[in-house]
Structure 1
Amino acid sequence: MVRALLDLGYDSCSTASNHTLDRDVRGVRTTLDVLDAAGMKHTGSARTPEEAATPLILDANGVKVGQVAFTFGFNGIPLPEPWISNPLDPQRVIEAARAAKAAGAEVVVASLHWGTEYEADPNDDQRSMAAAILADPAVDLIIGTHVHTVQPIEQVNGKWVVYGMGNEVAKHEEPRGTTEEGLIARFKFVQGPQGWHVEEARYRPTLVELGPPIRAVDLSSVPPTPRRTEALARTDEVVGRLGAAAHGLGR
């Protein structure tokens, strides 16, 4: 699976989620070992305190991009050590982003596992945390996961937050329709007198078709069917319900 993700173009991933500790510390180590063996960069959990303290910095066309990752919790499982994974707290996110900038990152993306499952609207905690985090110059973009359904994209403090990308690949025991819908967000950063900022914000709606065969499709480019048309309309409505189009978000 990791090899396939690399082949698709993924360079890194977040390993901070409510399932990080499902198989205790051994599961964390095994996951990170597999990612390392395949060449997939990762952040959000760690095998040692030293690894946890080392910022992940990627090269994107010569620009140093830092990624930090945090999760709202671990399904009630206590952290065996405080450095194993990253509980979500706005100040901790900001401090990690500042550390990434100090280590050379020019742009920092925060991957946040948060929100209320199956709810299209971001909850109050998501919105207040996004405002607090994006008020700090160390964080340039928030990408959200967890809720298994598409949530809005919003501009906050002049920066962007994707509250929830839905599911890109998923097959639930009881499909809800919305749980098969997702999006891929794309942000183009440029450097100006005040530093790096997003010049272009776009998203691509996706749908997992349960088949057989199961496949993920880009709703922007495939021929329409009733199900695809429904998913596309719903995704567009949800993504834009906090006014993102007025700030330049497009497809």
Structure 2
Amino acid sequence: MPHRLGLTGDVMLGRLVDEYQQRRPASAVWGDLEDRLRDLDGLFVNLECCLSARGRQWRRTERAFHFRAEPEWAVPALETVGVDACALANNHVFDYEEEALLDTLTHLGTAGIAHAGAGESREAAFEPALVTVGDLDVAFVSLTDNSPEYAAGDDSPGTAYVEIDVDDAETRAAVEDTLARARAHDPDLVIVSLHWGPNMVEEPPEAHQRFARWLVSEGVDVVHGHSAHVFQGVEVYEGRPILYDTGDFIDDYAVDPRLWNDRSFLFELSVSEDGGPVELRLLPTEIDDFAVHRASDGAAQWSRARIQDRSDPFGTTFEREGDALVYRFDR
């Protein structure tokens, strides 16, 4: 039987999400998708905040936003739906400085939720997370080109920061090293989660396309992109899925009436026992009341049309099945 892995865009549990969650059950943040998420064999998210009640807002450089969630509800919420691994290489995990970042690592570790992309040192930040999904061994790598001031140092905490440039020698060395560390565990599947590029960009730039294809050529099985707050197209390169941007899954952000950044998908990837992709299913989602839900009919129709349009340049064609779009891989 194939294993069903869920991949989402940004899960931002701070600010108004955090405020609303103080007076409702932890699981409420998952809306009517709670059972669907729990039924997945594996779930991988970008955690776009720190989990801590401590720390102070980052003021060393100019930052407009700071995201922090109370761990007393946020950790149980992640546990409720069985989140297996969190990508932490992003531009908000360090928003409340070292104390809150280290709390985040501790809370996730205590809950048994794997994480990658941030750590107490550069070596730790670049360490792949290892997750067992059924009888499938998954190596999960998290990288970002956002907020270089958050980058981990040799002896200081921070994120796994790289330039998204395949011609940059330092980038290639860092990525090749972390992929070698992943392969040392002989995983069935390697996922690289990338928080890359600026906000509200509808198409991946050429540099991202080259980088993603290079990752596949280096043995990466799934490229999981996020950061733009809007979903971008899907490419299948050498038989492997590249999700250039998975958009936003949960947040409290203002909604752009043209880009509809409150709309995205739950990306469900079915893989065989040897880690080969079988099917990619896109279930339309929509943020409402600071929680994620199945998209309304109108929103779902818009999202299906938009992602097909954005995937057309890559030659990716989806089939419609109920509310979802499906791509089946050649086996």
Normalization by structure 1: what TM-score?
A: 0.83
Shift in Å, 1:4: 0.9
Query: What secondary structure does 1:112 align onto?
Result: strand
Distance 1:207 1:53 in 2: 32
TM-score normalised by structure 2 residue count: 0.64
- Residue in 2 that maps onto 1:206: 285
Aligned match of 2:85: 12
Select the residue among 74, 77, 84 that pairs with 2:149.
77
Selected match of 1:86 from 152, 160, 171: 160
Over 3 Å counting, the alpha-carbon distance change for 1:126 and 1:217 in structure 2 is: same
- State the percentage of identical aligned residues: 21
Letter in 2 for 1:155: V
Provide runs of 4+ in structure 1 moved above 6 Å: none
1:155-210 Cα deviation digits (max 9, x unpaired): 1232111011111112214544521011121222225xxx642122222121113x
Partner of 2:302: 230
Matched, 1:25 2:104: no
Q: Which shows bigger deviation, 231-240 or 160-169?
A: 231-240
Q: Distance in 1 between matches of 2:122 and 2:213?
A: 29
> Which residue of 189, 193, 197 maps to 2:271?
189
Partner of 1:116: 198
Aligned to 1:146: 227
Does structure 2 conserve the Cα–Cα contact (< 8 Å) formed by 1:181 and 1:235? no
Q: CA 1:104/1:17 → structure 2, altered by over 3 Å: closer, same or farther?
A: same
* 8 Å contact kept, 2:117–2:126: no
> Aligned pair in 2 of structure 1 residues 36, 230: CA closer, same or farther (>3 Å)?
same
The Cα shift of 1:47 comes to 2.0
Cα pair 1:207 1:231 within 8 Å, conserved: no
Alpha carbons of structure 1 residues 188 and 174: separation in structure 2 relative to 1, 3 Å: closer
Give 5+ residue unaligned stretches, structure 1.
none
State the superposition RMSD in angstroms.
Answer: 2.7
In the alignment, what sits opposite 1:158?
239
Unaligned runs of 5+ in 2: 1-73, 163-170, 320-324
Give how far 1:48 is off: 4.6
Q: What amino acid is aligned across from residue 204 of structure 1 in structure 2?
A: L
Name 2:189's counterpart in structure 1.
Answer: 107
Conserved 8 A contact 1:11-1:40 = yes
With over 3 angstroms needed to count, the CA separation of the structure-2 counterparts of 1:13 and 1:182, relative to structure 1, is same
Higher relative contact order at CA 8 Å, sep ≥6: structure 1 or structure 2?
A: 2
Tell me, in whole angstroms, the C-alpha distance in 2 between the residues paired with 1:36 and 1:131.
32
Greater alpha carbon shift after TM alignment, 162-171 vs 100-109: 100-109
